[in-house]
Amino acid sequence: MWMLVPVAFAGKLLSAFRKPLRSLWSSLVPWVLWLRATLWLPGGQSTRPPQLGRGEPQESRGDGGQGPDQPTTPTSVNYHFTRQCNYKCGFCFHTAKTSFVLPLDEAKRGLRLLQEAGMEKINFSGGEPFIHDRGEYLGQLVRFCKEKLRLPSVSIVSNGSLIRERWFRTYGEYLDILAISCDSFDEQVNVLIGRGQGKKNHVENLQKLRTWCRDYRVAFKINSVINRFNVDEDMREQIKALNPVRWKVFQCLLIEGENSGEDALREAQQFIISDEEFEGFLDRHKEVSCLVPESNQKMKDSYLILDEYMRFLNCRNGRKDPSKSILDVGVEEAIKFSGFDEKMFLKRGGKYVWSKADLKLDW
């Protein structure tokens, strides 16, 4: 019986404090909810995305600027339909891990799905897009997108080494923009980077392509990856002489499984530069009016990338995690796993005057 005395006393003590404790909890609830809203996403999920296994689709976090219930529109898509290339650029972040290319009819079906989902611009890339079927496969896709899908903009990114004038004669009218990768105007630097190809001169070929673009009314663009071997180069005079509609200047980027890590085909660590070095290059070229800079931060998640199987590639974890193919699940479902940051896409100037009909160029 004597043991019941402390229990009875504890019960009375709890009763005495119950009301003050209830009042204290009521005052703390708003603060707890505020902390949860600040540190956690709705549903109690951490802002840190879950680390999934390689190749496992991961749904994009965030709403892409369109609201949680509104699907992302694939306004501008980069289709890397082949990974094969005739160059060996040391920093390449889309390497020849497969030799697969979709049958032409299947590629066209996927492009139509994208157009129906709201695509306005398609960019064909690789690898080297002119390597497959000597550019005929690419040409038919370009013509299909402009003639059948009536897309406002059709563009290509190429190293330029395999392009022939007969391609322009057949398909030039359907192409809005041709972007040629050129990282240096010093041929020895191009060789160091991996753009050397025997007796062919990359810089001389660039000038020839510039002339063909003018003759066949295709807007001419230059892409440059700034890295350890060209960061101190002054390209102002050469760029101004070539007068591209845009000069895209990228900071060299590491992607696990592509140019970094044990299973990568390239090792790009030796090419990496600091943010300060990249800013120094930009400052040196700030007078070039067509310059469009892209740091690693701007570039990583602001592109919708389709691989050779028409899977969106999510780069949010520093590697390329594929979605399911749009040919299997449709665009709306696959794009959920793209990791696409539409706000950054718009911030970096991803949407611009990209139709040659609107550019009003002096041919």
User: Is residue 213 flagged as an active site residue?
Assistant: no
Catalytic hit among 92, 145, 213, 315: 92
**Burial (0-12, 13-18, 19+ Cβ within 10 Å), 145:** buried
User: Is residue 92 flagged as an active site residue?
Assistant: yes
CA-to-CA distance for 268 and 296, rounded, in angstroms? 14
Catalytic hit among 85, 145, 182, 213: 85
* Residue 39, CA distances (Å) to 26, 42, 46, 62, 339 in order: 21, 10, 7, 15, 21
The pair of three-digit structure tokens given for residue 270, joined into one six-digit string? 């030796």
Catalytic hit among 89, 213, 252, 315: 89
Name the DSSP class of 260.
Answer: B
User: Is residue 145 flagged as an active site residue?
Assistant: no
* Residue 357, CA distances (Å) to 149, 220, 233, 343 in order: 16, 14, 34, 27
Supply the residues annotated as catalytic: 85, 89, 92
